[in-house]
Amino acid sequence: MPTAPRCDDTIAWSALQGHFQGHGRTLDLREAFARDAGRFEALAVQAPEVFADLSKNLWDGTTLRLLIELAQACDLPARRDALLAGEPINSTEGRAVLHTALRAPRGAGPFSDEVHGVLDALLAYAETVRDGAASGITDVVNIGIGGSDLGPQMAVPALQAFSQPGLRLHFVSNVDGHDIVPVLAKLKPESTLFIVASKTFTTQETMANAHAARAWFLAAGGTDTARHFVGVTTNLEAAARFGITRTFGFWDWVGGRYSLWSAIGLPLAIAIGAENFRAFLAGARAMDEHFATAPLDANLPVLLGLLDVWYRNFHGFGSRSVAPYHQGLKRFPAYLQQLEMESNGKCVDAEGRALGLGTSPVVWGEAGTNGQHAYFQMLHQGTDVIPVEFIAVKHTTHERAGLAPEVAAQLADQHVKLLANCLAQSQALMLGKTADEAATESAPTASKTLDPAVLARHRSFPGNRPSTTLVLEALTPRSLGALIALYEHRVFTSGAIWGINSFDQWGVELGKALCNQLLPRFASGDAAGLDASTAGLLARLR
Ligand code: F6P
């Protein structure tokens, strides 16, 4: 497709700079709400399964209009259409990027026959594993790393309420043996299924752990490795060479961090079953359709991606914190770290030109309310402004576990506490507290001897700190699918504005290559040609 102009060469970019220098920089949320009674409604978006309150962000109608102009100037709609049509937009690897084809209904997307052929076989197999009485399987161990680990590792606990009782899922990723050892200690070979998940089937960590698992299996008296080891990969030959006879394939047009929808989702499919897995895909598909068809100013992934650009390149915010107020989403921030930072952590554009502007923010977070008792202090009173993304879930699903009525009543009460905490945090970030307000409040734990004016300054909050709140009705297979797809398209949007290739990851290669060069030096001790620091550390660690 034709080259779009660089985002910072567009008229819209200059207009945004002018707007920022004018009143964009000084926008005060408290005043904005006081001035405009309709601000919440005006900045609320209902996307499939996900409602978003964007009103506590440092933007207004003008910002939004200019950001949409920027999206148009950067050819976002054409770039999105090229993505969805399967054009080879991953230019450095000459590949299409078609994770959306994995959730298209039969007959509706590219490669439909291949996609649905594998999906049908995968789900049929997942059902046989779930039938513990017939399969004898009680424990499933996924061995993979990065995109071959983080997706299932995040989604399985998220959908715990929909999972097969009595079936335990484990995840091993790190080449550090301290990862696999405690897992193996819980297993019996005859009731364990190992899934070796690797797009390339060459990744050092995964291959090492697969060998460790097979050595353990045989040493512990396991027989029939063909039944107890299954592969998920695009490299069917390498899986066969490892000795795996049952393999589910996928394709080079599925990026690792976008692969949860493919056979990489096998652990999730085993946990939640075929019907729920199809609902998970359908939720993502609904978000795909929203992304493809909603007008830009009502298109949630587009708006979130544009907000990211606004914060990163105009406000200069270097990080974004994600706070899911649902314990099932405790691994969601880690999942987003790969999705966002591996996709958009780039310093050249798709043409290879130095960008000279900020790209991916640091994405980090922790399940609420735990984060409140750790780093929220910094969010409220630290010197950096860090936009926070709250994810609230209206209805619980833990009652599906069949709780006694008195326990269910207690947990219903806890859920209200959880939601109140979530709202209170976004409110506190925005409202803050002046030193005068602090001075008039009683603070029983505060020093009685310190100058009250000094104390009040310690107890004041700047406020005007931005946040977005996403609301799901319940955390279900369908809503989780939509939520993940929302983030995928948001990352695409900011990447498209920056003009980068969001689908390669050359930045992980150098470390891999140097690791391979260092490995023999651990045996030989040869430090010739190494810098003094690496040589000194090598000597110490041998
Ligand atoms: O970290 C680099 C990376 O290539 C990721 O993009 C990928 O998800 C991960 O390694 C695992 O790769 P594979 O699935 O080929 O083992």
Q: Does the CB atom of residue 198 touch ligand 1 within 6 A? A: yes
146: CA distance to ligand 1 center in Å? 5
Q: Does the CB atom of residue 199 touch ligand 1 within 6 A? A: yes
What's the whole-number mean pLDDT along residues 475-487? 98
At 445, list the tokens. Answer: 């734990």
**Residue 399 confidence (pLDDT):** 80
Residue 460 CB partners (closer than 8 Å, separation 6+): 432, 433, 434, 435, 437, 438
Cα–Cα distance measured from residue 331 to residue 144, given in angstroms and rounded to the nearest whole number:
16
Task: Please state, rounded to an integer, the average pLDDT across all residues of the chain.
Answer: 96
- pLDDT (tens digit per residue) in 70-93: 999 999 999 999 999 999 999 999
DSSP assigned state of 4 = P
391: CA distance to ligand 1 center in Å? 27
**Is residue 4 pLDDT above 80, yes or no?**
no
144: CA distance to ligand 1 center in Å? 9
Residues annotated as part of the active site: 342, 373, 512
Ligand 1 atom closest to Cα of residue 203:
16
At 346, list the tokens. Answer: 């780039």
Kindly report whether the global pTM for this prediction surpasses the value 0.95.
yes
**Is residue 243 pLDDT above 70, yes or no?**
yes
**Is residue 408 pLDDT above 60, yes or no?**
yes
Ligand 1 atom closest to Cα of residue 259:
8
**Residue 431 confidence (pLDDT):** 98
Ligand 1 atom closest to Cα of residue 206:
16
If one residue of 90, 92, 93, 148 were mutated to test the ligand 1 pocket, choosing by the most ligand atoms within 8 A of its CB, it would be 148
- pLDDT (tens digit per residue) in 199-235: 999 999 999 999 999 999 999 999 999 999 999 999 9
**Which of helix, strand or coil describes residue 366?**
coil
Q: Which protein residue has the closest C-alpha to ligand 1 atom 3?
A: 146
Q: Does the CB atom of residue 148 touch ligand 1 within 6 A? A: yes
**Residue 2 confidence (pLDDT):** 54
Angle at 359 between CA 353 and CA 363, to 5 degrees: 150
Cα–Cα distance measured from residue 336 to residue 484, given in angstroms and rounded to the nearest whole number:
9
**Is residue 425 pLDDT above 60, yes or no?**
yes
C-alpha pair distances (Å), 2 with each of 5, 83, 85, 89, 97 = 10, 14, 15, 11, 18
**Is residue 389 pLDDT above 90, yes or no?**
yes
Ligand 1 atom closest to Cα of residue 233:
14
**Is residue 137 pLDDT above 80, yes or no?**
yes
Q: What percent of the chain has pLDDT over 90?
A: 95
198: CA distance to ligand 1 center in Å? 7
Q: Does the CB atom of residue 145 touch ligand 1 within 6 A? A: yes
Torsion of CA 124, 126, 127, 130, to 10 degrees: 170
Q: Which protein residue has the closest C-alpha to ligand 1 atom 2?
A: 508
Residue 438 CB partners (closer than 8 Å, separation 6+): 455, 456, 457, 459, 460
Structural domains of the chain ordered from first start: 7-89+288-398+410-440+448-498 (3.40.50.10490), 114-275 (3.40.50.10490), 508-541 (no CATH)
Strand order of the β-sheet with 388-395 is 44-47, 50-53, 467-474, 388-395, 319-325, 362-365
Q: Please report which helix (H) or strand (E) contains residue 40, including its range.
A: helix 39-42
Q: Which protein residue has the closest C-alpha to ligand 1 atom 10?
A: 146
Q: Does the CB atom of residue 200 touch ligand 1 within 6 A? A: yes
Q: Which of 189-198, 260-269, 273-282, 401-410 has the lowest mean pLDDT?
A: 401-410
If one residue of 171, 200, 335, 344 were mutated to test the ligand 1 pocket, choosing by the most ligand atoms within 8 A of its CB, it would be 200
Residue 63 CB partners (closer than 8 Å, separation 6+): 16, 19, 24, 310
194: CA distance to ligand 1 center in Å? 19
What's the whole-number mean pLDDT along residues 13-23? 96
Ligand 1 atom closest to Cα of residue 148:
14
Cα–Cα distance measured from residue 430 to residue 40, given in angstroms and rounded to the nearest whole number:
14
Q: Which protein residue has the closest C-alpha to ligand 1 atom 6?
A: 256
Contact of 145 with 203, CB cutoff 8 Å:
yes
ipTM: 0.98
Q: Does the CB atom of residue 146 touch ligand 1 within 6 A? A: yes
Cα–Cα distance measured from residue 61 to residue 43, given in angstroms and rounded to the nearest whole number:
9
Contact of 342 with 386, CB cutoff 8 Å:
no
Q: In 3D, which of 456, 472, 461 has the Cα closest to residue 425?
A: 461
147: CA distance to ligand 1 center in Å? 6
Long-range contacts at 393-399 (CB < 8 A, ≥ 24 apart)? 393/325, 393/326, 393/471, 393/472, 393/473, 393/474, 393/475, 394/419, 394/471, 394/472, 394/473, 394/474, 395/473, 395/474, 396/474, 397/161, 397/162, 397/474, 397/475, 397/476, 398/161
Q: Which protein residue has the closest C-alpha to ligand 1 atom 16?
A: 198
Q: Does the CB atom of residue 257 touch ligand 1 within 6 A? A: yes
Q: Does the CB atom of residue 505 touch ligand 1 within 6 A? A: yes
**Is residue 524 pLDDT above 80, yes or no?**
yes
Cα–Cα distance measured from residue 150 to residue 98, given in angstroms and rounded to the nearest whole number:
19
Q: Does the CB atom of residue 209 touch ligand 1 within 6 A? A: no
Contact of 189 with 136, CB cutoff 8 Å:
no
289: CA distance to ligand 1 center in Å? 28
362: CA distance to ligand 1 center in Å? 20
Q: How far is CA 312 from the centre of its chain?
A: 18
Cα–Cα distance measured from residue 116 to residue 97, given in angstroms and rounded to the nearest whole number:
17
DSSP string of 204-268, one letter each residue? HHHHHHHHHHHHHHHHTT---HHHHEEEEES-HHHHHHHT--EEEE--TTS-GGG-TTTGGGHHH
If one residue of 251, 508, 512, 515 were mutated to test the ligand 1 pocket, choosing by the most ligand atoms within 8 A of its CB, it would be 508
**Residue 442 confidence (pLDDT):** 85
**Residue 400 confidence (pLDDT):** 79
Q: Which protein residue has the closest C-alpha to ligand 1 atom 8?
A: 147
**Is residue 1 pLDDT above 70, yes or no?**
no
237: CA distance to ligand 1 center in Å? 18
Q: Does the CB atom of residue 206 touch ligand 1 within 6 A? A: yes
Cα–Cα distance measured from residue 168 to residue 181, given in angstroms and rounded to the nearest whole number:
16
